[in-house]
Amino acid sequence: MSGNKHAFLLFTKAPTPGATKTRLTEARGGILTPEEAADFYRSTLLDVVEIGFQALKELNQQANAEADGNDPDRYDFWVSCTSENDQAGLEALFEQAGPYPAPIFFIHDRGKTFDEHFDDAFRQLFQHGYHAIVSIGGDLPAMPVSHIVQAFQWLDYFDSFSEKGGFVQAPCQECGVSLVGYTAATPMDSDGVFYNPDGVPALDAYIAKAAERGVPVASLTPVADVDDMGDMAHMVSLLKAIAYSSRCQPGLFVAQHTLNWIKRMGLVITTPPNLNHDPREHIDA
């Protein structure tokens, strides 16, 4: 009996000055040059690749252990980008950073909006015979490996009782999503999710679709992406805390590429002095 194919999908573009993380640049209210912003994204992207491969290693080991003489399920690494030029840049980046434990496969997503590009990537992989897809972006160096593993496990669980498969998501910090996954049988799409003329947040749009179509949903804990300098400050503090905690907390992924970039840039996070406090004299008395 043949096992199912599953895809971890990294939805990204090549790190390019002037086209990558522009909201972090001085021209749009940030503090970075276009080259520094691209270098930042290059660092987070390489960490996300390692996160993906760690998750796939765990999933493939589990599938092999449960095969019981049958062909095991298989979990592959796919990248979706917008052009052949982006693919060439990403392949060069990954070749320089590698080697990696398994191949990275590529597709080119197409469309007029982000929604159409995202749906096209899922459609192509389902046409390649993949049963379940879990996708994240390249600006998530704090994404827990366990989120990707659990996302596939939730989809497998939904398959056990739902003819419509299921949907899994992890929110980001601004009512959006940092992880999205569903199966070939799931009646889900991203139409009107990211480019919503009515101002409905992406997370609400997905949940509304699922509720309307009777699709079971699993929600993982939020994971912040990095779009502006406020996000950057949060990420710097978070990654430093994770790095220290990893000394005594097994299983944490340390985003070393991004941490090295932070060190090269000399970034230090500060907040305004907090001179406000709640009067407590009447409580303490």
Give the tens place of pLDDT for each residue, 153-169: 999 999 999 999 999 99
Q: What's residue 256's pLDDT?
A: 98
Collapsed DSSP state (helix, strand, coil) of residue 241:
helix
Return all residues near 151 (Cβ < 8 A) that are at least 6 apart.
134, 168, 170, 179, 181, 218, 220
Q: If you classify domain 5-225 with CATH, what class do you get?
A: alpha beta
pLDDT higher than threshold 70 for residue 284: no
The proportion of the chain whose per-residue pLDDT surpasses 90, expressed as a percent, equals 86
pLDDT tens-digit map of 207-259: 999 999 999 999 999 999 999 999 999 999 999 999 999 999 999 999 999 99
On the question of pLDDT at 98 being above 70, the answer is yes
Measured CA to CA in angstroms, residue 130 lies from 42, 158, 182, 282 at distances of 28, 16, 11, 64
The sheet with strand 74-81 has its strands ordered as 104-108, 74-81, 5-11, 130-137, 177-183, 167-171, 217-219
Encode 48-90 in three state secondary structure.
Answer: HHHHHHHHHHHHHHHHHHCCCCCCCCEEEEEEEECCHHHHHHH
State the Cα–Cα distance between residues 249 and 38, nearest whole angstrom.
32
3 pLDDT more than 90: no
- Sequence-ordered list of residues with C-beta below 8 angstroms from that of 76, at least 6 positions apart, any chain: 5, 6, 7, 8, 56, 102, 103, 105, 130
- Checking if the pLDDT of 14 tops 80, the result is yes
Length of the chain: 285
- pLDDT value at residue 67: 84
Q: Per the structure block, which two tokens stand in for 106?
A: 């590529």
Chain centroid to Cα 187, Å, comes to 22
Tokens of 30: 């940030």
Please check whether residue 212 is in contact with residue 181, taking contact to mean a CB–CB distance below 8 angstroms: no
pLDDT of residue 282: 67
Residue type, 79: V
> Which of 219, 87, 93 shows the shortest CA–CA distance to 147?
219
Q: Comparing C-alpha atoms, which of 172, 166, 162, 169 is closest to residue 186?
A: 166
From the list 137, 130, 88, the residue with the least C-alpha distance to 108 is 88
| pLDDT tens per residue, range 75-95 | 999 999 998 889 999 999 999
Instruction: Select the more confidently predicted residue: 54 or 272.
Output: 54
276 vs 220, which has greater pLDDT? 220
Query: With bands split at pLDDT 50, 70 and 90, how would you rate the model's confidence at 181?
Result: very high
Mean pLDDT of the chain: 94
Question: For the chain, which residues make up each domain, given as ranges?
Answer: 5-225
Amino acid at 271: T
Residues 95/49, Cβ–Cβ less than 8 Å: no
